[in-house]
Chain A
């Protein structure tokens, strides 16, 4: 691993009470939800991680505390080009965490997608609507307790029967 990244990891570890993990040469910092904005702002302004590459989440369903991990990928845009992963474990039940929109504007759509797919609420988000699923969809598809589902095949003899059972968008 890059020596610059290593010194950065130790600096952040103390400052934000972060836990570090290295897997396949990739550095991950575990943060608590209340420190994420502060950490992201410091990373952007002081350490040169000006680019939010990705924001996604992982669901560890049967496990409740924490159930979700929100994963951020940050990049530096100057040499040496570094990649830093931030992970924020959050509880199931009513998952919510602060929005990163004020620090990185492109978090807006990423967070809308996370709300849509995982049902994670981002506090103070400017426009938290569904983005990929229809606006009246129920449930959050990428959760592990959301069934994969299938569509029954309609033949002429059972067309009406299957059609009646199908979920339709509400009025």
Chain B
């Protein structure tokens, strides 16, 4: 056991007000083991009675050193760790990683794989928003929404399990396409989900959108303006709730998002309620995209035919010498990537998920930088919570939709 270290308030002198040092306001720790901080986030609150004077987020409790580990692994093996970053957006992380790698390699992706990627990325978005809706409802004392959300999330996780064998850590999207073709029952499962989901979203809304208690706790809480969002680099639902229709899928389309017809929901006020409404509407739009995608899912190969990067199919290994050599080389040495650095951004459920990947020409990356939306969005916590009650801080954290695995990497 290590001893408990006493922290001197002098260390925080530049962060808290003079009044806190004189003992007029109270410093209160919230987290890192608080049920409503959605993980291991510590907030140091400076309180005047019940009013928050300042809020200092302290992160890093879930730091796993994934960026460092990626530098020591070949590209294919490093991808497995991407699922563990933002564990509610595993396929979105796979996609962001593969897009950066494909840009460096100038690798083609067949149309079937592109459409599959879109379907899966949108399913992941719904999955993440469902968990967010459930837990945020729970924070604001709406218990039953959580149970309903988990029910639909189960259907999505079952689809993930069907395609990849894993419910959360899928690593299904691979450089040059997807791991293997989807099973025959995949299309039916997605059709069922699309048919079921809109009515279910209405059900959630009927429990929250007109609920007096919920409105009281969300309207006018944690307001941020569009200008402040841009100054602080905020993206995703928070920016859209402040009234700016800014979505990576629209401004810099990837994986063929320009072919789909969908709206970008925005909110007028930028408060907790608008963020809730934007996310719920986003689920509807995602269902729309999945519906369009599954209807046009083309037949054909699911992975690039570039044998210098993509391993040959198992069936060729017994008959082709080259296939065997490629297979051996790819799983031992890995493939070499042209030297240079690229930045690609995707729209994760939480905002702009960017990957800055730099190669030195070898089979291991020089640097993989994850621009995590949670890390950026959490920075406005003081801005949002000043002047509100402690009880509202819970709602505000929920509305930022933090995933500490994403934040701490």
User: Do A and B associate with each other?
Assistant: yes
CB of B343 within 8 A of CB of A83, answer yes
Within 8 Å CB of A133, what residues of B? 60, 63
Query: Which residues 6-58 of A have a CB within 8 angstroms of B?
Result: 23-24, 26, 28, 50-54, 56, 58
A-contacting 9-mer, from B316-324, B350-358, B391-399: B350-358
Q: How far is the CB of A45 from chain B (nearest CB, A)?
A: 13
Which of B106, B366, B376 contacts A58, CB < 8 Å? B366
Query: Which residues 324-363 of B have a CB within 8 angstroms of A?
Result: 340-343, 345, 352, 354, 356, 358
Q: How far is the CB of B81 from chain A (nearest CB, A)?
A: 13
CB of B14 within 8 A of CB of A132, answer no
CB of A51 within 8 A of CB of B106, answer no
Within 8 Å CB of A26, what residues of B? 342-343
Beyond A54-B369, A169-B2, 11 extra complex contacts between A and B, CB < 8 Å: A50-B231, A52-B233, A53-B345, A79-B251, A83-B343, A105-B231, A106-B376, A131-B59, A131-B60, A134-B60, A168-B2
User: Is residue A171 within 8 Å, beta carbon to beta carbon, of the partner chain?
Assistant: yes
User: Is residue B389 within 8 Å, beta carbon to beta carbon, of the partner chain?
Assistant: no
Within 8 Å CB of B201, what residues of A? none
CB of A54 within 8 A of CB of B354, answer yes
Q: How far is the CB of B225 from chain A (nearest CB, A)?
A: 14
- Most chain-B Cβ atoms within 10 A of its Cβ — which of A23, A60, A127, A169? A23
Q: A6 to B361: give the CA distance in the assembly, Å.
A: 27
Query: Which residues 365-409 of B have a CB within 8 angstroms of A?
Result: 366-367, 369, 371, 375-376, 379, 408-409
Query: Which residues 118-171 of A have a CB within 8 angstroms of B?
Result: 126-127, 130-134, 141-142, 144, 146, 148, 168-169, 171
Q: A77 to B233: give the CA distance in the assembly, Å.
A: 11
Interface set of B (CB-CB < 8 Å, partner A):
2-3, 5, 14-15, 59-60, 63, 65, 67-69, 71-72, 103-104, 106, 230-234, 244, 246, 251-252, 340-343, 345, 352, 354, 356, 358, 366-367, 369, 371, 375-376, 379, 408-409
User: Is residue A71 within 8 Å, beta carbon to beta carbon, of the partner chain?
Assistant: yes
A-B contact pairs, 22 of them (CB 8 A): A23-B341, A23-B342, A24-B340, A24-B342, A26-B343, A28-B341, A56-B367, A58-B366, A73-B354, A73-B356, A73-B371, A77-B246, A79-B251, A81-B252, A106-B233, A130-B60, A131-B59, A131-B60, A132-B408, A132-B409, A142-B67, A142-B68
CB of A148 within 8 A of CB of B371, answer no
Q: A113 to B68: give the CA distance in the assembly, Å.
A: 13
Q: Could you say which interface size class chain A belongs to?
A: 35 or more
Q: What mask results when residues 55 to 81 of chain A are scored 1 for a CB within 8 Å of chain B, else 0?
A: 010111000000000010100010101
Chain B interface, >50% SS class: mixed
Within 8 Å CB of B409, what residues of A? 132
Q: A141 to B67: give the CA distance in the assembly, Å.
A: 10
Q: A73 to B252: give the CA distance in the assembly, Å.
A: 14
Q: Which chain B residue has the least Cβ–Cβ distance from A21?
A: B340
Q: How far is the CB of A106 from chain B (nearest CB, A)?
A: 4
Interface set of A (CB-CB < 8 Å, partner B):
23-24, 26, 28, 50-54, 56, 58-60, 71, 73, 77, 79, 81, 83, 85, 104-106, 108-109, 113, 117, 126-127, 130-134, 141-142, 144, 146, 148, 168-169, 171
Q: Which chain A residue has the least Cβ–Cβ distance from B64?
A: A132
Q: How far is the CB of B119 from chain A (nearest CB, A)?
A: 25
Q: A146 to B72: give the CA distance in the assembly, Å.
A: 12
Q: Which chain A residue has the least Cβ–Cβ distance from B5?
A: A171
Within 8 Å CB of A169, what residues of B? 2
Chain A interface, >50% SS class: loop
Q: How far is the CB of A158 from chain B (nearest CB, A)?
A: 20
Q: Which chain B residue has the least Cβ–Cβ distance from A28?
A: B341
Which of B71, B72, B233 contacts A53, CB < 8 Å? B233
Q: A117 to B67: give the CA distance in the assembly, Å.
A: 10
CB of B354 within 8 A of CB of A71, answer no
Q: How far is the CB of A28 from chain B (nearest CB, A)?
A: 8
Within 8 Å CB of B375, what residues of A? 109, 113
Which of A51, A56, A77, A108 contacts B379, CB < 8 Å? A108
CB of A109 within 8 A of CB of B379, answer yes
Which of B5, B71, B230, B343 contacts A54, CB < 8 Å? B343
Within 8 Å CB of A144, what residues of B? 71
CB of A171 within 8 A of CB of B3, answer yes
Q: Which chain A residue has the least Cβ–Cβ distance from B342?
A: A24
Q: A73-B356, A81-B251 are in contact. Are A24 and B371 (CB under 8 A)?
A: no
CB of A106 within 8 A of CB of B232, answer yes
Within 8 Å CB of B358, what residues of A? 58
Q: How far is the CB of B102 from chain A (nearest CB, A)?
A: 10
Q: Which chain A residue has the least Cβ–Cβ distance from B233?
A: A106
CB of A148 within 8 A of CB of B68, answer yes
